[in-house]
Amino acid sequence: MRLDDLTPSTLRDPYGYSLKWHFFPEDVLPMWVADMDFPIAPAIVQGVLERLQERVGYPQMKGDPALLQSILQQQEARGLKGLTPDNLLLTTSVVPGIYASVLALSSPGDEVITQVPVYHPFLNALQEHHRVARYNPLQRTPQGWAIDFDQLESLVTPRTRLLLLCNPQNPTGRVFRRDELERLAEFALRHRLWVMSDELWADLIYEGRHIPLASLGPEIAQRTVTLTGPCKAYNTAGLGGGVAISHNPQILAALARVLKGLGGHPNVLAMAAWRAALEHGQAWLEEVRAYLRGNRDLITAFVQQHLPQVGYWPPEATYLAWFDFSATFGPRAHQVMLEQAKLGLNDGQMFGHQYQGWLRLNFATSRDLLQEALERMARVVQALA
Ligand SMILES: Cc1ncc(COP(=O)(O)O)c(C=O)c1O
């Protein structure tokens, strides 16, 4: 199968292009930054090439009309209804949308709540822009990761302005259920918070169903900005492209003010790739999702059999596995994996300071390379015994 056919020598391109494959020394298997080792859908290549045959002058300010329609259709299918192109603000990628949301919907000194562990730019944006981060650690329960609603309630003060939500959640892979999202929406409304809901991973779900927070009702829709983009599902991170979506035009106007002169107009090739992905990429996406699910299941079976001492809950979404090696290697887990297992993973501390000894592994690679990584991991753990 095509997705099986990957080797480190071809993945480590000779030009030094790939961050993932050129960051660590050559004997290290890199399974960190979140892009896939698979080639992109042929339809995307074709869409980009065709776009280059046309004018590449300034595109329309709001973005290519056909792309905007495809995004609206995608969102409608997910449950975000009643949107028009005026409810979309294209961004160069999703991270600028995260920063713009923080800047537009809170002020320096304001308190902002987020579940942790979480995608590190959430935390960086707050710290770099002098917002006071209030952490709502996800709880480990026998059923997996869960929101601690009592602790969440205790975090609110008169300075709390904003809730940052990641759903599906990076790095735990949780897909929040309707009842959880309803409680979050009720919480945000009762405390008059704005909400940024990063839903970039919504197309890579294995169990459960993606429910956009803003689909839960008109009131929460008025207080929410939803972020998404093509790069996780379609592996186009180097092209960029993102969108901020809101039923509340004032939220989008506030983000646009922050981005003015900095955000830039959307890149025509990114827009062409995104449009091709949405219009013609579904079969590719389904094949890749099924393959990733198989990889997820391989990890689950391997950990049960060979690494029972390691904390791990199978992700319901994403291609990220989140491991607790703190009892095994303590805070040195990342270094041990790098130096002894020759595995390049993400250090858990990036996702919240209390996650020392945790590691994030990107499993969007071939089954052979994943198996090799798991065996390298198991060898260093077993060497301890
Ligand atoms: C939750 C989340 N948001 C945003 C991004 C980055 O998006 P982009 O590359 O479009 O800026 C990532 C990348 O891993 C992510 O996991």
The pLDDT of residue 1 is 53
| DSSP single-letter state for residue 40 | P
Burial class (CB in 10 A: 0-12, 13-18, 19+), 281: buried
Task: List, in order, residues 6 or more apart from 313 with CB less than 8 Å away.
Answer: 140, 144, 145, 172, 173, 322
Give the mutation target among 95, 115, 235 for probing the ligand 1 site: most ligand atoms within 8 A of CB: 95
> Of 154, 158, 210, 155, which Cα lies nearest the Cα of 181?
210
Give the mutation target among 93, 123, 228, 232 for probing the ligand 1 site: most ligand atoms within 8 A of CB: 232
Give the mutation target among 231, 259, 267, 361 for probing the ligand 1 site: most ligand atoms within 8 A of CB: 231
Contact 6, 37 (CB under 8 A): yes
pLDDT in tens, 232-245: 999 999 999 999 99
Residue that the structure tokens 């993400």 belong to: 346
Closest ligand 1 atom to residue 33 Cα is 14
The pLDDT of residue 2 is 79
Contact 174, 320 (CB under 8 A): no
Is any atom of ligand 1 closer than 6 Å to the C-beta of 317? no
DSSP alpha helices (H): ranges in the chain? 8-11, 19-22, 42-52, 65-78, 94-105, 120-128, 149-154, 178-190, 218-222, 231-234, 249-259, 268-280, 282-306, 326-329, 333-336, 367-384
Contact 313, 144 (CB under 8 A): yes
Is any atom of ligand 1 closer than 6 Å to the C-beta of 242? yes
CB atoms within 10 A of CB 35: 19
Contact 277, 230 (CB under 8 A): yes
Is any atom of ligand 1 closer than 6 Å to the C-beta of 34? yes
The pLDDT of residue 264 is 79
Q: Provide the Cα torsion 226, 345, 334, 176; round to 10°.
A: 30
The pLDDT of residue 236 is 98
Show the low-confidence residues of the chain (pLDDT under 50): none
pLDDT in tens, 118-142: 999 999 999 999 999 999 999 999 8
Contact 98, 263 (CB under 8 A): no
Structure tokens at 278: 């949405």
Q: What distance in angstroms lies between residue 385's CA and the mean position of ligand 1's atoms?
A: 38
Is any atom of ligand 1 closer than 6 Å to the C-beta of 119? yes
First to last CA, the chain: 38
Contact 266, 90 (CB under 8 A): yes
Closest ligand 1 atom to residue 242 Cα is 10
Contact 192, 205 (CB under 8 A): no
Distance CA 165, CA 167 (A): 6
Indicate the CATH number for domain 8-41+282-383.
3.90.1150.10
Is any atom of ligand 1 closer than 6 Å to the C-beta of 173? no
Closest ligand 1 atom to residue 318 Cα is 16
Residue 362: how many CA atoms within 13 Å on its side-chain side? 20
Q: What distance in angstroms lies between residue 131's CA and the mean position of ligand 1's atoms?
A: 21
Is any atom of ligand 1 closer than 6 Å to the C-beta of 93? yes
Nearest CA, atom 7, ligand 1: 94
Cα 367–Cα 373–Cα 379 angle in degrees, nearest 5: 135
Is any atom of ligand 1 closer than 6 Å to the C-beta of 165? no
Nearest CA, atom 9, ligand 1: 237
Distance CA 363, CA 129 (A): 33
Nearest CA, atom 8, ligand 1: 94
Task: Spell out the domain ranges in the chain.
Answer: 8-41+282-383, 45-280
Residue 279: how many CA atoms within 13 Å on its side-chain side? 15
CA 330 to chain centre: 26
> Quick check: do 8-41+282-383 and 45-280 share a fold?
no
Give the mutation target among 31, 36, 98, 119 for probing the ligand 1 site: most ligand atoms within 8 A of CB: 119
Closest ligand 1 atom to residue 231 Cα is 10
At residue 69, φ and ψ (nearest 5 deg) are -65, -40
Q: What distance in angstroms lies between residue 95's CA and the mean position of ligand 1's atoms?
A: 6
Q: What distance in angstroms lies between residue 119's CA and the mean position of ligand 1's atoms?
A: 8
Indicate the CATH number for domain 45-280.
3.40.640.10
Is any atom of ligand 1 closer than 6 Å to the C-beta of 231? yes
For 382: left if phi > 0, alpha if psi spans -120 to 50, otherwise beta; the answer is: alpha
